[in-house]
Amino acid sequence: MGDKTADRTGLRGDCGNCFGLCCVALPFARSADFAIDKPAGRACPNLGEDHRCGIHARLRQSGFTGCTVYDCFGAGQKVSQLTFGGRDPRTAPPEEARRMNEVFPVVRQLHELLWYLTEALGLPAARPVHGDLRRSLAKTEGLTRLTPDELAALDVPAHRQDVNVLLLKTSELVRAGVRGRKKERRGADLMGARLRGADLRGANLRGACLIAADLAGADLREADLIGADLRDTDLTDADLTGAFFLTQPQLNAARGSAGTGLPESVARPAHWTARL
C-alpha cells in the first residue's frame, strides 16, 4: 500500500470558492485554442458577475478549447479564500487586485508540485524515498501559505528543481519494477509519431512531445508521463493503467475512447465520446 498521509482533496479546482482568477490573471492569444486575445489581468468577457464562466457548457464549440485543458490544481480557491481572505478583487483596492493576479500563477505552480508529490507518496515502489517526499510535501504546502508579498518574491524554479530530484528518484524506482527493457524517451520529439500498439510499458516519456501522435492501442502502463505534451494525441484503446504523473489537463488535451484504460487519479474526458 502507498503512503496515506496526504490526499488530493485541496488539489482539485473548486470554482465555487474562487473569484474566477484563471479567467482574469492569465493571458491568451487568438488561436486554435482561444477565439480572442486577452491580456493578463483583464477579465475574460465570458466571465459573469458571479465569477462563473457564461459559456462553460459550450467552451469547445465556442472556440475556447484551451480553457477545457486547464486546471489550477486548487490554487484558485487557495488564493481567493486563504491568501486574500475571501476579499472580492472587484471591490478590493486596485493594488490588491493586481497582487492577487500576480500571486495566482505562483500558487498554481506550487499546487501542481503538491499533486505530483502526493501521487508519489501513493506509489508503493517509491517507499525508499517516502520520508523525503513527505518533507518536501510539507515544505511545499508551507510555501503556499506565505503572504502575498512573500509569494510574489518566491523563487519557484529553484524549489521545483529540488522537488524534481525526488520525482526523478520516484520514477526510477517505479519503472525499475517493470520487467524488460524500459524505453528512454525523455524530452523526445515524437510529434505525429506512429506508435499504434507500441510497447511503452515503463517508458520514460517525461517532457516528450507527443502532439498528434498515434498511440492507439499502445501499452503505457507504469510509464512516466510528467510534462508530456498530449495535445491531440490518439489514445484510443490505449492502456494507461498504472501510468503515473499524468494530469487531467494532459488527458483533456488528448483523444481517447471508452476502451482507454486510465489511472484512478484522472477522469475520462466527457468530450472523448463526442469526438469519436
pLDDT of residue 1: 43
For the chain, helix (H) and strand (E) counts, in that order, are 9, 0
Predicted confidence (pLDDT) per residue in 182-191, tens digit: 789 999 999 9
Question: Which residue is associated with the grid cell 468577457?
Answer: 45
Predicted confidence (pLDDT) per residue in 91-137, tens digit: 999 999 999 999 999 999 999 999 999 999 999 999 999 999 999 99
Other C-beta atoms lying within 10 Å of the C-beta of residue 160:
15
pLDDT of residue 180: 83
Segment 80-92 mean pLDDT: 94
Sequence-separated contacts (24+) of 26-29 with Cβ below 8 Å: 26/105, 28/66
pLDDT of residue 9: 82
Predicted confidence (pLDDT) per residue in 149-173, tens digit: 999 999 999 999 999 999 999 999 9
Predicted confidence (pLDDT) per residue in 242-258, tens digit: 999 999 999 999 999 99
Percent of the chain with pLDDT over 70: 96
Q: Which residue has the higher pLDDT, 273 or 65?
A: 65
